[in-house]
Structure 1
Amino acid sequence: MSKPAALCVAPNLWRIPVAPFSFVNVYAFVEDDGQVTLVDTGMKSSAKRIEAGLALMGKSVADVTRIVLTHAHADHAGGAAGLLERTGVPGVAIHQTDAPFARDGHAPPRDTSTFLGRLANRGSNAFPAVVVAEEFVDGDVLPVAGGLSVHHTPGHTAGHVSLLHQPTGVLVTGDAIWNVRKLSYGVKAFCQDVKLNERSAHVLGELEYTVAAFTHGPHVSDQAREAVRGYLRDADARQR
């Protein structure tokens, strides 16, 4: 049986898997007037999956009026340039620290303290350059579907953010924590600063939310905050 093109996470909030097994997710927030905000855009090749997800929601790319990026990596920002062109949205919103990388179309450098990070720096970390219309910072509340608060969780990139949708209690973790097979900090080779990522992820244990929506892996709606806090606690214990 084929997987659905979009899954409802909360009222007017959908997860659109753009890679098999929910390995990469885009999130769609629907306003009362029907306009759609996308959080992340997947890879350059993700357009058809996004279109299919929107169609299942009864929407299309013509309804997309805002694009927010959690960070400037190709699997999150790679599809942004194409979507801007198709939707007519003037530019994306992204944290001010990652904005120059989005404009340049190149991910920040990877952590050279790991062998895989050094190896990743030798490869192409490019994606189509993106027009940035808005830069935000920690503590800002974006006017998305009743309020999307910005929580700076640097390390995966220096400008990486997690986003809390206040009306529904859904936390979009970005890549601060993954849920591929199990909760984890994700792949170290993808991080700009591995240790900082592990420290800043603890912000997610302090917030109040009912659903954890991961950009890698399926969302968790059953005792989500407790699951994240438990993972962080266990990860700390393993490092002692």
Structure 2
Amino acid sequence: MKLTDKIHLLRIDFEISLSPEKKIPRFVNVVLIFGDKITLVDTGVKGSEKVIFDYIKEQNRDFSEIGTILLSHAHPDHIGSAARIKELSGCKVCSHELERDWIENIDLQNTERPVPGFYHLVDTPVSVDCFISDGQSMAVDEAITIRFIQSSGHSKGSLNLFFVEDKILFTADSIPLKNDIPNYDNYSELMRSLAKIKRNTEFETLLTSWTPPMFEQDSIHKILQEGEEYMRHINSVVEECYKSDDAGTLNNCRKAVEKLGLPPFLVVPVVDRAFKSHTH
């Protein structure tokens, strides 16, 4: 989807494998910037390079023109094809320094945050060539300046990207979707990041990793409000269900998932990890 002449949004569909029989359909957005060189924001899951390269070809460009990958954070559906794209194009990879360990050591990420079907989503780490800090600006092409905003909570070093001239804000996974998978590192930090997005009056278009682009202020306000209310609801449920130590089981997680009305297959360590962040 063309947002401007140079900034495009590409949806990549994939599945999370809970078991050989049970798969969850998901999708993730990748941003492509067509300047003198091509810049990618995130890379989808393992194997997404084919979809990305085909789209680049449709724009009468070539994947060899990719100069930079900007990773919003380290999770598998964002870094999955980064290593392959870097290998084929020779581009550089940039991220926040707090995301480096999980990008360069996916086994460590899988140990600390065991997403179901992890190695179906990413199977190769990638080295980070440059680090991006909060408030830093980067001119990726003529009249395309990106200002980076650290938005911790979903992950330690999550980055939001503000396209200054076009007034577009890409929040990656910083905005929780109502009734979606509880999937974050730190509840309190995520709430602070949500508040920061709500206070931002500079952007006119909102892009996330999980939704179509939003151009209307009413739609933008609604998704932010619903995300905040959902998180507060989860917090009240966790306070009720995590009163005692479950001794390494997922019993408290099971109670919380049931009370939230979420499907039972979400009783998994990564959701339990998110819930436990409310108690710290």
- TM-score past 0.5 threshold: yes
Q: Tell me, which stretches of 5 or more residues in structure 1 are unaligned?
A: 1-6, 111-119
Which segment is superposed worse, 230-239 or 77-86? 230-239
Alpha-carbon separation, structure 1, partners of 2:12 and 2:157: 23
Out of 51, 54, 77, the residue aligned to residue 53 of structure 2 is: 51
After superposition, the C-alpha distances for 1:180-211 in whole angstroms (9 at most, x for unaligned) are: xxx449522x3222342233222211222111
TM-score, normalised with respect to structure 1: 0.80
Q: Once the 2 structures are TM-superposed, how far is the Cα of residue 218 of structure 1 from its aligned partner?
A: 1.2
**Alpha carbons of 1:88 and 1:165: their partners in 2 closer, same or farther (altered >3 Å)?**
same
Structure with the larger helix share: 2
Question: Separation in 1 of the partners of 2:194 and 2:60?
Answer: 35
CA distance in 1, matches of 2:29, 2:116: 26
CA contact (8 A) 1:77 1:127 kept: no
1: CA distance, partners of 2:180 / 2:99: 19
Normalised TM-score (structure 2): 0.69
Shift of 1:100: 2.1
Partner of 1:98: 99
From 148, 152, 173, the counterpart of 1:175: 173
Alignment of 1:106-121 (within 5 A): 106=107, 107=109, 109-110=112-113, 120=114
1:144 to 120, 140, 148: 140
Matching residue within 179, 192, 200 for 2:193: 200
> Which residue of structure 1 lines up, in the alignment, with residue 124 of structure 2?
128
1:163 matched residue in structure 2: 161
Please, which of 62, 76, 91 is the counterpart of residue 64 of structure 2? 62
CA distance in 2, matches of 1:37, 1:100: 23
Are the aligned partners of 2:194 and 2:224 in contact in 1 as well (CA < 8 Å)? no
Q: Deviations over 1:111-167 (max 9, x none)?
A: xxxxxxxxx468746641111111111101122232111111111110111111111
Matched with 1:25 is: 29
Which structure has the larger Rg over C-alpha atoms? Answer: 2
Give the C-alpha shift of residue 37 in structure 1.
Answer: 0.3
Classify the secondary structure of the residue corresponding to 1:101: helix
Establish whether residue 10 from structure 1 lines up as the match of residue 12 from structure 2.
Answer: no
Aligned to 2:90: 88
Counterpart CA distance in 2 for 1:62 and 1:198 is: 40
Distance 1:144 1:100, change over 3 A: same
Greater RCO, 1 or 2 (C-alpha within 8 Å, sep 6+): 1
Give the aligned CA root-mean-square deviation in angstroms. Answer: 2.6
